[in-house]
Chain A
Amino acid sequence: MKAAPFEYSRAADVDEACALLAADDGARLIAGGQTLVPMMVMRLARPTRLIDINRIAALSYIRAEGDGIAIGATTRQCAIERDALIKRDLPLLAHAIPNIGHAATRARGTIGGSLANADPAAELSLVAITLDAVLSYRVGRETSEIPAREFFVGPMTTGLPAGGCLTGVRFPVWRDKKTGVGFHEVNARRSDFAFVSAAAQIALDESGACKRIAIGIGAATDCPLRLEAAEEQLAGTRLDAKAVETAVRAALADVETLSDLHASAEYRRRAAATLAKRAIADALAQAQGSKPHAH
Protein backbone atom coordinates (compact mmCIF):
# COMPACT_ATOMS: atom_id res chain seq x y z
CA MET A 1 0.00 0.00 0.00
CA LYS A 2 2.14 2.81 -1.31
CA ALA A 3 0.61 6.10 -2.36
CA ALA A 4 0.66 7.22 -5.97
CA PRO A 5 3.38 9.80 -6.63
CA PHE A 6 2.73 13.43 -5.76
CA GLU A 7 4.54 16.73 -5.32
CA TYR A 8 4.94 18.18 -1.87
CA SER A 9 4.95 21.76 -0.67
CA ARG A 10 5.05 23.16 2.78
CA ALA A 11 3.01 26.34 3.09
CA ALA A 12 4.54 29.00 5.31
CA ASP A 13 1.24 30.81 5.73
CA VAL A 14 -2.38 30.70 4.69
CA ASP A 15 -1.76 32.95 1.71
CA GLU A 16 0.70 30.47 0.30
CA ALA A 17 -1.58 27.52 1.01
CA CYS A 18 -4.44 29.15 -0.86
CA ALA A 19 -2.24 30.18 -3.75
CA LEU A 20 -0.95 26.63 -4.15
CA LEU A 21 -4.48 25.27 -3.97
CA ALA A 22 -5.64 27.71 -6.61
CA ALA A 23 -2.76 26.79 -8.91
CA ASP A 24 -3.58 23.08 -9.11
CA ASP A 25 -6.98 21.40 -9.24
CA GLY A 26 -5.51 18.15 -8.00
CA ALA A 27 -3.78 19.67 -4.98
CA ARG A 28 -4.96 18.87 -1.47
CA LEU A 29 -4.16 20.21 1.93
CA ILE A 30 -2.65 17.87 4.47
CA ALA A 31 -2.84 18.58 8.18
CA GLY A 32 -2.74 15.59 10.54
CA GLY A 33 -3.14 13.14 7.69
CA GLN A 34 -4.77 10.50 9.89
CA THR A 35 -7.59 10.11 7.40
CA LEU A 36 -5.97 11.35 4.21
CA VAL A 37 -2.88 9.17 4.33
CA PRO A 38 -4.80 5.85 4.58
CA MET A 39 -6.89 6.94 1.62
CA MET A 40 -3.77 7.80 -0.31
CA VAL A 41 -1.95 4.53 0.39
CA MET A 42 -5.05 2.63 -0.67
CA ARG A 43 -5.03 4.86 -3.74
CA LEU A 44 -8.56 6.03 -3.10
CA ALA A 45 -7.21 9.58 -3.02
CA ARG A 46 -4.57 10.64 -5.53
CA PRO A 47 -3.67 14.30 -5.06
CA THR A 48 -1.14 15.63 -7.51
CA ARG A 49 0.29 17.83 -4.81
CA LEU A 50 0.10 17.83 -1.04
CA ILE A 51 0.18 21.20 0.62
CA ASP A 52 1.37 20.72 4.17
CA ILE A 53 -0.19 23.26 6.53
CA ASN A 54 1.02 21.70 9.78
CA ARG A 55 3.59 24.39 10.47
CA ILE A 56 1.37 27.43 9.94
CA ALA A 57 1.47 28.86 13.47
CA ALA A 58 -1.38 31.24 12.74
CA LEU A 59 -3.73 28.29 12.29
CA SER A 60 -3.01 26.69 15.64
CA TYR A 61 -4.66 28.40 18.59
CA ILE A 62 -7.27 28.07 21.30
CA ARG A 63 -8.56 31.41 22.58
CA ALA A 64 -11.55 33.24 23.87
CA GLU A 65 -13.12 35.26 21.10
CA GLY A 66 -16.29 37.28 21.48
CA ASP A 67 -18.98 35.14 23.05
CA GLY A 68 -17.16 31.94 22.42
CA ILE A 69 -13.93 30.08 21.96
CA ALA A 70 -12.08 30.02 18.70
CA ILE A 71 -9.89 27.10 17.71
CA GLY A 72 -7.52 27.20 14.78
CA ALA A 73 -7.95 24.59 12.09
CA THR A 74 -4.60 22.88 12.58
CA THR A 75 -4.90 22.68 16.36
CA ARG A 76 -4.12 19.08 17.34
CA GLN A 77 -6.94 17.08 18.91
CA CYS A 78 -4.62 16.20 21.80
CA ALA A 79 -4.02 19.90 22.50
CA ILE A 80 -7.76 20.47 22.67
CA GLU A 81 -8.03 17.42 24.93
CA ARG A 82 -5.63 18.95 27.45
CA ASP A 83 -6.71 22.56 27.31
CA ALA A 84 -8.00 24.10 30.55
CA LEU A 85 -10.09 26.74 28.79
CA ILE A 86 -11.90 24.06 26.79
CA LYS A 87 -12.53 21.98 29.89
CA ARG A 88 -14.04 24.95 31.63
CA ASP A 89 -16.03 26.60 28.87
CA LEU A 90 -16.67 23.91 26.27
CA PRO A 91 -17.27 20.81 28.40
CA LEU A 92 -19.15 19.06 25.62
CA LEU A 93 -16.10 19.27 23.39
CA ALA A 94 -13.85 18.13 26.22
CA HIS A 95 -16.17 15.18 26.78
CA ALA A 96 -16.25 14.17 23.14
CA ILE A 97 -12.58 14.38 22.26
CA PRO A 98 -11.29 11.26 24.08
CA ASN A 99 -13.68 9.22 21.96
CA ILE A 100 -11.89 10.18 18.77
CA GLY A 101 -9.61 7.40 17.54
CA HIS A 102 -6.63 6.69 19.77
CA ALA A 103 -4.13 8.85 21.61
CA ALA A 104 -1.65 8.26 18.77
CA THR A 105 -4.08 9.59 16.17
CA ARG A 106 -5.16 12.51 18.35
CA ALA A 107 -1.48 13.41 18.65
CA ARG A 108 -1.49 14.29 14.95
CA GLY A 109 -5.12 14.68 13.95
CA THR A 110 -6.47 18.22 13.82
CA ILE A 111 -9.88 19.72 14.40
CA GLY A 112 -9.92 21.25 10.94
CA GLY A 113 -8.96 18.00 9.28
CA SER A 114 -11.78 16.14 10.98
CA LEU A 115 -14.37 18.81 10.20
CA ALA A 116 -13.31 19.11 6.57
CA ASN A 117 -13.40 15.34 6.16
CA ALA A 118 -17.02 15.29 7.36
CA ASP A 119 -17.28 11.63 8.22
CA PRO A 120 -20.87 11.04 9.32
CA ALA A 121 -19.57 9.38 12.49
CA ALA A 122 -17.07 12.08 13.45
CA GLU A 123 -17.40 13.30 17.01
CA LEU A 124 -16.18 16.81 16.20
CA SER A 125 -18.82 17.28 13.52
CA LEU A 126 -21.47 16.28 16.00
CA VAL A 127 -20.26 18.74 18.62
CA ALA A 128 -20.02 21.51 16.03
CA ILE A 129 -23.63 20.92 14.97
CA THR A 130 -24.89 20.62 18.52
CA LEU A 131 -23.31 23.85 19.64
CA ASP A 132 -24.00 25.77 16.41
CA ALA A 133 -20.35 26.39 15.76
CA VAL A 134 -19.27 28.73 13.01
CA LEU A 135 -16.45 27.72 10.69
CA SER A 136 -14.22 30.15 8.89
CA TYR A 137 -12.32 29.52 5.70
CA ARG A 138 -10.22 31.24 3.09
CA VAL A 139 -10.48 31.04 -0.66
CA GLY A 140 -7.67 32.98 -2.26
CA ARG A 141 -7.60 36.15 -0.20
CA GLU A 142 -11.22 36.07 0.84
CA THR A 143 -12.27 34.97 4.31
CA SER A 144 -15.79 33.69 4.83
CA GLU A 145 -17.81 32.15 7.61
CA ILE A 146 -20.32 29.36 7.47
CA PRO A 147 -22.49 27.93 10.23
CA ALA A 148 -21.89 24.28 10.98
CA ARG A 149 -25.39 23.35 9.90
CA GLU A 150 -24.70 24.61 6.41
CA PHE A 151 -21.16 23.31 6.35
CA PHE A 152 -22.05 19.62 6.51
CA VAL A 153 -23.80 18.78 3.28
CA GLY A 154 -23.52 15.03 2.92
CA PRO A 155 -21.30 12.08 3.82
CA MET A 156 -17.69 13.22 3.35
CA THR A 157 -19.07 16.34 1.66
CA THR A 158 -18.95 19.91 2.93
CA GLY A 159 -19.82 23.40 1.80
CA LEU A 160 -16.14 24.24 1.60
CA PRO A 161 -15.65 25.54 -1.94
CA ALA A 162 -12.97 24.19 -4.25
CA GLY A 163 -9.64 25.73 -3.36
CA GLY A 164 -10.89 26.56 0.10
CA CYS A 165 -8.81 26.23 3.26
CA LEU A 166 -10.56 25.89 6.59
CA THR A 167 -8.92 28.31 9.01
CA GLY A 168 -10.82 27.91 12.24
CA VAL A 169 -14.00 27.18 14.11
CA ARG A 170 -15.72 29.20 16.82
CA PHE A 171 -17.90 27.54 19.42
CA PRO A 172 -20.38 29.66 21.34
CA VAL A 173 -20.04 29.32 25.10
CA TRP A 174 -23.12 28.99 27.30
CA ARG A 175 -22.63 31.30 30.23
CA ASP A 176 -25.66 30.08 32.19
CA LYS A 177 -24.80 29.10 35.73
CA LYS A 178 -26.43 25.72 35.69
CA THR A 179 -25.28 23.93 32.59
CA GLY A 180 -24.48 20.33 31.95
CA VAL A 181 -23.36 18.12 29.09
CA GLY A 182 -23.70 14.53 28.02
CA PHE A 183 -22.05 12.51 25.31
CA HIS A 184 -22.65 8.86 24.44
CA GLU A 185 -21.76 6.64 21.58
CA VAL A 186 -22.06 3.00 20.68
CA ASN A 187 -19.42 1.21 18.66
CA ALA A 188 -18.04 -2.29 18.24
CA ARG A 189 -14.82 -1.39 20.01
CA ARG A 190 -14.17 1.56 22.21
CA SER A 191 -12.21 3.62 19.72
CA ASP A 192 -13.99 2.71 16.52
CA PHE A 193 -16.17 4.95 14.46
CA ALA A 194 -19.47 5.12 16.27
CA PHE A 195 -22.53 3.38 14.89
CA VAL A 196 -24.54 6.08 16.58
CA SER A 197 -23.62 8.94 18.88
CA ALA A 198 -25.52 11.56 20.84
CA ALA A 199 -24.53 14.88 22.37
CA ALA A 200 -26.56 17.06 24.66
CA GLN A 201 -26.07 20.37 26.37
CA ILE A 202 -28.55 21.82 28.83
CA ALA A 203 -28.96 25.02 30.76
CA LEU A 204 -31.41 25.22 33.65
CA ASP A 205 -33.04 28.28 35.13
CA GLU A 206 -33.14 29.03 38.88
CA SER A 207 -36.24 26.91 39.38
CA GLY A 208 -34.54 23.95 37.77
CA ALA A 209 -36.56 23.99 34.57
CA CYS A 210 -34.87 23.63 31.25
CA LYS A 211 -33.96 27.04 29.90
CA ARG A 212 -32.15 25.82 26.86
CA ILE A 213 -31.30 22.47 25.33
CA ALA A 214 -29.33 21.29 22.35
CA ILE A 215 -29.46 17.67 21.20
CA GLY A 216 -27.33 16.28 18.40
CA ILE A 217 -27.23 12.83 16.84
CA GLY A 218 -24.18 11.59 14.94
CA ALA A 219 -23.32 8.61 12.75
CA ALA A 220 -26.98 7.73 12.20
CA THR A 221 -27.47 9.88 9.13
CA ASP A 222 -25.39 11.35 6.29
CA CYS A 223 -24.65 14.42 8.39
CA PRO A 224 -24.99 14.97 12.11
CA LEU A 225 -28.49 15.96 13.05
CA ARG A 226 -30.06 18.34 15.54
CA LEU A 227 -33.26 17.09 17.12
CA GLU A 228 -34.88 20.52 16.93
CA ALA A 229 -38.40 19.22 17.35
CA ALA A 230 -37.39 17.58 20.60
CA GLU A 231 -35.50 20.69 21.72
CA GLU A 232 -38.61 22.81 21.21
CA GLN A 233 -40.80 20.35 23.02
CA LEU A 234 -38.47 20.03 25.98
CA ALA A 235 -37.55 23.68 26.51
CA GLY A 236 -39.29 24.99 29.59
CA THR A 237 -40.01 21.54 31.00
CA ARG A 238 -38.37 19.78 33.89
CA LEU A 239 -37.00 17.13 31.53
CA ASP A 240 -38.59 14.18 33.26
CA ALA A 241 -37.68 10.86 31.72
CA LYS A 242 -41.07 10.25 30.13
CA ALA A 243 -41.17 13.63 28.42
CA VAL A 244 -37.65 13.19 27.14
CA GLU A 245 -38.42 9.72 25.80
CA THR A 246 -41.53 10.91 23.98
CA ALA A 247 -39.89 14.00 22.51
CA VAL A 248 -36.79 12.16 21.34
CA ARG A 249 -38.66 9.28 19.78
CA ALA A 250 -41.02 11.64 18.00
CA ALA A 251 -38.13 13.67 16.64
CA LEU A 252 -36.47 10.51 15.27
CA ALA A 253 -39.59 8.87 13.92
CA ASP A 254 -39.22 10.12 10.36
CA VAL A 255 -35.48 10.31 10.14
CA GLU A 256 -33.96 8.16 7.42
CA THR A 257 -31.14 6.41 9.22
CA LEU A 258 -28.16 4.70 7.62
CA SER A 259 -27.87 0.97 7.12
CA ASP A 260 -24.55 -0.85 6.55
CA LEU A 261 -22.33 -3.78 7.49
CA HIS A 262 -22.29 -2.68 11.11
CA ALA A 263 -25.90 -1.77 11.88
CA SER A 264 -29.36 -1.72 10.37
CA ALA A 265 -31.34 1.49 9.89
CA GLU A 266 -33.76 0.43 12.61
CA TYR A 267 -30.93 -0.21 15.02
CA ARG A 268 -29.56 3.26 14.43
CA ARG A 269 -32.95 4.82 15.01
CA ARG A 270 -33.49 2.97 18.28
CA ALA A 271 -29.94 3.47 19.48
CA ALA A 272 -30.11 7.17 18.65
CA ALA A 273 -33.11 7.50 20.94
CA THR A 274 -31.42 5.54 23.72
CA LEU A 275 -28.19 7.50 23.51
CA ALA A 276 -29.97 10.84 23.31
CA LYS A 277 -31.93 10.01 26.44
CA ARG A 278 -28.77 9.04 28.26
CA ALA A 279 -26.91 12.13 27.12
CA ILE A 280 -29.76 14.32 28.26
CA ALA A 281 -29.95 12.53 31.60
CA ASP A 282 -26.21 13.03 32.13
CA ALA A 283 -26.45 16.68 31.17
CA LEU A 284 -29.37 17.20 33.50
CA ALA A 285 -27.62 15.55 36.42
CA GLN A 286 -24.55 17.66 35.82
CA ALA A 287 -26.57 20.87 35.52
CA GLN A 288 -28.44 20.12 38.70
CA GLY A 289 -25.19 19.43 40.50
CA SER A 290 -24.03 22.92 39.57
CA LYS A 291 -20.49 21.66 39.73
CA PRO A 292 -17.84 23.47 37.75
CA HIS A 293 -17.14 21.53 34.59
CA ALA A 294 -13.41 21.14 34.89
CA HIS A 295 -12.26 17.50 35.17
Chain B
Amino acid sequence: MRIELAVNGVTHALEVEPRTTLLDCLRDQLGLKGAHAGCEHGVCGACTVLMDGVAVRACLMFAVQATGSAITTVEGVTPGPGELSPIQDAFCETHGMQCGYCTPGMVLVAHALLADNPEPTREQIVEAISGNICRCTGYAQIVEAIALAAERLRGVNRPRSLAP
Protein backbone atom coordinates (compact mmCIF):
# COMPACT_ATOMS: atom_id res chain seq x y z
CA MET B 1 0.00 0.00 0.00
CA ARG B 2 1.13 3.53 -0.68
CA ILE B 3 1.05 5.76 2.34
CA GLU B 4 2.34 9.14 3.42
CA LEU B 5 3.98 9.40 6.80
CA ALA B 6 4.89 12.66 8.45
CA VAL B 7 7.92 11.99 10.59
CA ASN B 8 9.96 14.64 12.36
CA GLY B 9 8.42 17.33 10.22
CA VAL B 10 9.13 15.64 6.88
CA THR B 11 6.47 13.83 4.86
CA HIS B 12 7.57 10.61 3.22
CA ALA B 13 5.80 8.67 0.49
CA LEU B 14 6.25 4.99 1.21
CA GLU B 15 5.20 1.60 -0.03
CA VAL B 16 4.39 -0.69 2.90
CA GLU B 17 2.74 -3.99 3.58
CA PRO B 18 -0.23 -3.56 5.91
CA ARG B 19 1.42 -5.85 8.40
CA THR B 20 4.51 -3.68 8.75
CA THR B 21 4.43 -2.05 12.16
CA LEU B 22 5.15 1.64 12.54
CA LEU B 23 8.28 0.61 14.44
CA ASP B 24 9.62 -1.54 11.61
CA CYS B 25 8.70 1.09 9.04
CA LEU B 26 10.57 3.83 10.90
CA ARG B 27 13.63 1.66 11.38
CA ASP B 28 13.81 -0.27 8.13
CA GLN B 29 12.34 2.09 5.57
CA LEU B 30 13.20 5.50 6.99
CA GLY B 31 16.47 4.47 8.61
CA LEU B 32 15.45 5.99 11.94
CA LYS B 33 17.07 3.51 14.27
CA GLY B 34 16.43 5.35 17.53
CA ALA B 35 13.16 3.55 18.29
CA HIS B 36 14.01 0.04 19.45
CA ALA B 37 12.29 -3.31 19.51
CA GLY B 38 12.33 -4.76 23.01
CA CYS B 39 9.33 -7.02 23.15
CA GLU B 40 7.14 -6.25 20.14
CA HIS B 41 4.03 -6.76 22.25
CA GLY B 42 3.61 -3.40 23.86
CA VAL B 43 5.00 -3.86 27.36
CA CYS B 44 8.57 -2.57 27.51
CA GLY B 45 8.18 0.84 25.81
CA ALA B 46 11.54 0.75 24.01
CA CYS B 47 9.64 1.49 20.79
CA THR B 48 8.07 4.68 22.13
CA VAL B 49 7.49 7.50 19.65
CA LEU B 50 5.35 10.61 19.91
CA MET B 51 2.18 10.78 17.87
CA ASP B 52 0.88 14.33 17.77
CA GLY B 53 2.95 14.96 20.88
CA VAL B 54 1.62 11.98 22.84
CA ALA B 55 3.78 8.97 23.70
CA VAL B 56 2.59 5.77 22.04
CA ARG B 57 4.06 2.33 21.36
CA ALA B 58 5.21 2.10 17.75
CA CYS B 59 5.19 -1.69 17.92
CA LEU B 60 1.44 -1.68 18.50
CA MET B 61 0.54 0.25 15.38
CA PHE B 62 0.71 -0.71 11.77
CA ALA B 63 2.39 1.93 9.64
CA VAL B 64 -0.74 2.21 7.51
CA GLN B 65 -2.60 3.47 10.55
CA ALA B 66 -0.20 6.34 11.20
CA THR B 67 -0.97 8.42 8.15
CA GLY B 68 -2.26 11.87 8.95
CA SER B 69 -0.52 12.09 12.29
CA ALA B 70 2.72 13.84 13.14
CA ILE B 71 5.22 11.25 14.33
CA THR B 72 8.22 12.36 16.35
CA THR B 73 11.14 10.05 17.02
CA VAL B 74 14.19 10.73 19.16
CA GLU B 75 15.94 11.95 16.04
CA GLY B 76 13.26 14.62 15.84
CA VAL B 77 14.00 16.07 19.26
CA THR B 78 17.76 16.15 18.66
CA PRO B 79 18.52 19.75 17.66
CA GLY B 80 21.26 18.94 15.19
CA PRO B 81 24.27 16.71 14.48
CA GLY B 82 26.22 16.47 17.72
CA GLU B 83 23.82 18.80 19.54
CA LEU B 84 21.71 17.86 22.52
CA SER B 85 18.41 19.29 23.70
CA PRO B 86 18.24 20.48 27.33
CA ILE B 87 16.40 17.27 28.17
CA GLN B 88 19.01 15.09 26.49
CA ASP B 89 21.75 17.05 28.18
CA ALA B 90 20.11 16.55 31.56
CA PHE B 91 20.11 12.80 30.95
CA CYS B 92 23.85 13.03 30.33
CA GLU B 93 24.35 15.13 33.44
CA THR B 94 22.73 12.64 35.78
CA HIS B 95 23.82 9.55 33.79
CA GLY B 96 20.19 8.57 33.33
CA MET B 97 21.07 5.49 31.29
CA GLN B 98 23.65 2.77 30.89
CA CYS B 99 23.22 0.58 27.82
CA GLY B 100 21.11 3.19 26.05
CA TYR B 101 18.48 0.82 24.73
CA CYS B 102 15.47 2.24 26.59
CA THR B 103 16.85 5.76 26.44
CA PRO B 104 15.17 7.15 23.31
CA GLY B 105 11.82 6.08 24.75
CA MET B 106 12.60 7.70 28.07
CA VAL B 107 13.75 10.92 26.39
CA LEU B 108 10.53 11.14 24.38
CA VAL B 109 8.38 10.44 27.40
CA ALA B 110 10.25 13.20 29.18
CA HIS B 111 9.59 15.58 26.29
CA ALA B 112 5.88 14.77 26.32
CA LEU B 113 5.63 15.09 30.09
CA LEU B 114 7.43 18.41 30.31
CA ALA B 115 5.50 19.90 27.42
CA ASP B 116 2.34 19.16 29.35
CA ASN B 117 3.55 19.70 32.92
CA PRO B 118 6.61 21.91 33.41
CA GLU B 119 6.75 21.32 37.16
CA PRO B 120 6.18 17.61 37.71
CA THR B 121 6.46 16.08 41.17
CA ARG B 122 8.68 13.06 41.69
CA GLU B 123 5.55 10.91 41.74
CA GLN B 124 4.39 12.34 38.43
CA ILE B 125 7.76 11.62 36.85
CA VAL B 126 7.71 8.05 38.18
CA GLU B 127 4.19 7.60 36.80
CA ALA B 128 5.15 9.07 33.42
CA ILE B 129 8.04 6.64 32.90
CA SER B 130 6.24 3.66 34.42
CA GLY B 131 5.36 2.39 30.96
CA ASN B 132 9.03 2.20 29.95
CA ILE B 133 11.11 -0.59 31.40
CA CYS B 134 14.77 -0.03 32.13
CA ARG B 135 16.83 -2.98 33.13
CA CYS B 136 20.07 -1.13 33.81
CA THR B 137 19.54 1.89 36.00
CA GLY B 138 16.87 1.07 38.56
CA TYR B 139 15.28 4.37 37.40
CA ALA B 140 16.77 6.69 40.02
CA GLN B 141 19.09 8.60 37.68
CA ILE B 142 16.37 8.75 35.01
CA VAL B 143 13.95 10.38 37.43
CA GLU B 144 16.71 12.78 38.43
CA ALA B 145 17.39 13.59 34.79
CA ILE B 146 13.80 14.55 34.16
CA ALA B 147 13.60 16.60 37.34
CA LEU B 148 16.81 18.39 36.38
CA ALA B 149 15.53 18.99 32.87
CA ALA B 150 12.32 20.44 34.27
CA GLU B 151 14.26 22.76 36.51
CA ARG B 152 16.50 23.93 33.68
CA LEU B 153 13.65 24.38 31.24
CA ARG B 154 11.75 26.49 33.71
CA GLY B 155 14.68 28.82 33.55
CA VAL B 156 14.46 29.21 29.76
CA ASN B 157 11.64 29.52 27.27
CA ARG B 158 8.82 27.05 27.71
CA PRO B 159 9.22 24.00 25.49
CA ARG B 160 7.55 24.35 22.12
CA SER B 161 4.43 22.23 21.98
CA LEU B 162 4.96 19.22 19.76
CA ALA B 163 1.35 19.02 18.65
CA PRO B 164 0.66 20.45 15.21
Contact = CB atoms under 8 A, between A and B. Distances in A.
A–B direct touch, CB within 8 Å, in complex?
yes
B38 to A, nearest CB: 11
B115 interface: no
Nearest to A1: B40
Interface residues of B, number: 28
Interface residues on chain A, size class: 20 to 34
A5 interface: yes
A108 B57 CA distance: 9
Contacts of B61: 33, 37, 108
A5 B60 contact: no
Nearest to A36: B60
Closest 10 CB pairs of A and B: A102-B131, A8-B18, A38-B41, A1-B40, A3-B19, A37-B60, A107-B54, A104-B131, A104-B55, A107-B56
A4 B57 CA distance: 20
B55 A105 contact: no
A34 interface: yes
Interface in B47-65: 48, 51, 54-57, 59-62, 64-65
- Give the interface centre of A37, A54, A190 by most chain B CB atoms within 10 Å: A37
B130 A102 contact: yes
A166 B48 CA distance: 29
Interface string A214-229: 0000000000000000
B14 interface: no
Interface in A1-25: 1-8, 10
Interface of B: 1, 17-19, 21, 24, 40-42, 45, 48, 51, 54-57, 59-62, 64-65, 68, 109, 127-128, 130-131
B60 A2 contact: no
Contacts, number: 77
A107 B19 contact: no
10 contacts: A5-B17, A6-B18, A8-B64, A37-B61, A42-B41, A52-B64, A104-B131, A105-B60, A108-B57, A108-B60
A8 B1 contact: yes
Contacts of A40: 19
Contacts of B1: 8
Interface of A: 1-8, 10, 30, 33-34, 37-38, 40-42, 50, 52, 54-55, 78, 101-105, 107-108, 190-191
A105 B18 contact: no
Contact of A191 (B24, B64, B130): B130
A34 B42 contact: yes
A138 to B, nearest CB: 22
B131 A38 contact: no
Contacts of B19: 2-6, 40
A2 B19 CA distance: 7
- Give the interface centre of A6, A52, A103, A191 by most chain B CB atoms within 10 Å: A103
Given A8-B64, A52-B64, 14 more contacts: A3-B19, A6-B18, A8-B62, A33-B60, A41-B40, A41-B41, A50-B62, A78-B54, A104-B45, A104-B109, A104-B131, A107-B54, A108-B57, A190-B130
Nearest to B24: A2
Nearest to B52: A107
Given A2-B19, A4-B19, A105 B131 contact: yes
Nearest to A41: B40
Given A104-B48, A190-B130, A37 B18 contact: no
Contacts of A101: 131
A165 to B, nearest CB: 17
A41 B37 CA distance: 13
A24 to B, nearest CB: 14
A101 B42 CA distance: 10
